[in-house]
Amino acid sequence: DGVKLSNTLGLALEGWPGVCFEYDPGKVASLAVSYRELPQVRICRAKVTPRNVLGFLGAFAVPSDFGVLSLDIDSYDYFVLEALLAGYRPGVIITEINEKIPPPLCFTVLFDEDHGWDGTHFYGQSICQLERLCASHGYAIAHVEYNNAFLVDARRFRGRALTALESYDRGYRQRSDRRREFPWNRDMEEVLTMAPEQAVAFLRRRFAGYEGRYSLSVGAPVDERRST
């Protein structure tokens, strides 16, 4: 709705221009009400996919080096981001990770235009999957805040890039308030202490109903052929 847990509302209130994409009609209505006095922020009801993201940004004349991207669609986020980076280079990327899946596991939901989040633990990408995208596009992991990763264009970054493991441990696994802030993850806690191969087996059992709709491995790259 553009307000609850928003990573960009503060920027809009400071006068930043932008465009918000949302597919749910109820949330679009809420967004329009919340942003009615922020005319520099445009609102578009659309389902963003890897196939159309470049077209949508072009239609709104978004500059190729725009400042901040906030991406959270609870599904095939990895492939949307991969497609976007083929034509745009935001200075900062804030993107959701599936915080339940620790390094060194690489996990992503595969692109299926009909897929939508069903309220379960099955969504998004792991921090290790995102790290691979960073490496191939010249971005650094600057910070993880629970289930949000903050990436910075490495050419502009003055700090030290974090590894997936460092950022995950600091931003989620070792946070003292993690269990209080994410009580719905209690049935996934054991994954955080399992050996990688055990964790893969656990997740394959947990995601048995989603066979063929995700990629999961220990440090191996996603099968790019499944992204189209």
Pair 128, 217: CB distance under 8 Å: no
- Print pLDDT tens along the chain (228 aa): 888 889 999 999 999 999 999 999 999 999 999 999 999 999 999 999 999 999 999 999 999 999 999 999 999 999 999 999 999 999 999 999 999 999 999 999 999 998 989 999 999 999 999 999 998 999 999 999 999 999 999 988 888 899 999 999 999 999 999 999 999 999 999 999 999 999 999 999 999 999 999 999 997 544 443 443
**pLDDT, tens only, 5-64:** 899 999 999 999 999 999 999 999 999 999 999 999 999 999 999 999 999 999 999 999
Phi, psi of 154 (to 5 degrees): -60, -25
Q: From start to end of 98-213, where are the E strands?
A: 105-109, 139-145, 148-153
